[in-house]
A and B are shown apart, each in its own frame.
Chain A
Amino acid sequence: AQKITQTQPGMFVQEKEAVTRDCTYDTSDPSYGLFWYKQPSSGEMIFLIYQGSYDQQNATEGRYSLNFQKARKSANLVISASQLGDSAMYFCAMREVNYGGSQGNLIFGKGTKLSVKP
């Protein structure tokens, strides 16, 4: 079964520091997509970054990058230069391209909390 694992406890980081949030996944499908979303206290899930399983390069989106290690089945999120607005829950998610005929549903991990201090 497809599974996303996020086991890091919540952490505090100083503003402007870099931080990594870990994610491991399990799937038997060779074609899949990996996502990171952030959820501030308002409840909205905000898309951060996407990595396709066949992408040769690690994905980057502004201050966010994804450290994709396919053989280890890990997809860690790296945030450079943390900002106060980065304080939120961070969720790793996976979508299997041909899962049950549906191409839209995401499987989420339990999330990991990040708090940025001034």
Chain B
Amino acid sequence: DAGVTQSPTHLIKTRGQQVTLRCSPISGHKSVSWYQQVLGQGPQFIFQYYEKEERGRGNFPDRFSARQFPNYSSELNVNALLLGDSALYLCASSLEWGIEKLFFGSGTQLSVL
């Protein structure tokens, strides 16, 4: 079975642009979470979705938004990009909400110039 897949793997944008990152969870997993990992730091929680509803939101500005589709895939959108948004964006899925074990994808490396 395929693991968590994320696209694209790498992305280069300029300040002020908008970006959409995509995530497909493991088949059967209903919960998707997004994390931002800045170089040299641990991942930081952005959003969690379960059954297409937002179940948690981290301390990120409103420029960050996300949604989950009926097939449980998810998109993360970031508007008005800043240099500080440059990071590895990780998607994680779990079977249900609140399940301990998260499965992560390999991430999307976003560079903002």
Contact = CB atoms under 8 A, between A and B. Distances in A.
Contacts of A103: 55, 97-98
Contacts of B40: 110
B56 A109 contact: no
A110 B43 CA distance: 8
Contacts of B31: 104
B63 interface: no
Given A104-B31, A105-B56, A43 B106 contact: yes
B90 A106 contact: no
Interface string B27-57: 0000101010000111111001010000110
Given A104-B94, A110-B40, A110-B41, A47 B102 contact: yes
B33 A104 contact: yes
Interface in A90-105: 91, 93, 95, 97, 100-105
B19 to A, nearest CB: 18
A57 interface: no
B94 A47 contact: no
A91 to B, nearest CB: 5
Size bracket, chain B contacts: 20 to 34
The CB with the most chain B CB atoms within 10 A, among A46, A93, A106, A108, is that of: A106
Nearest to B47: A105
A104 B106 contact: no
Contact of A111 (B42, B50, B98): B42
The CB with the most chain B CB atoms within 10 A, among A4, A97, A100, A105, is that of: A105
Contacts of A109: 42
Given A44-B105, A46-B104, 8 more contacts: A43-B90, A47-B104, A91-B43, A102-B48, A103-B55, A104-B94, A106-B35, A106-B102
24 contacts: A43-B90, A43-B106, A44-B105, A44-B106, A45-B43, A45-B90, A47-B102, A47-B104, A50-B100, A100-B56, A101-B55, A103-B55, A103-B98, A104-B50, A104-B56, A104-B102, A105-B33, A106-B35, A106-B102, A108-B42, A108-B43, A110-B41, A111-B41, A111-B42
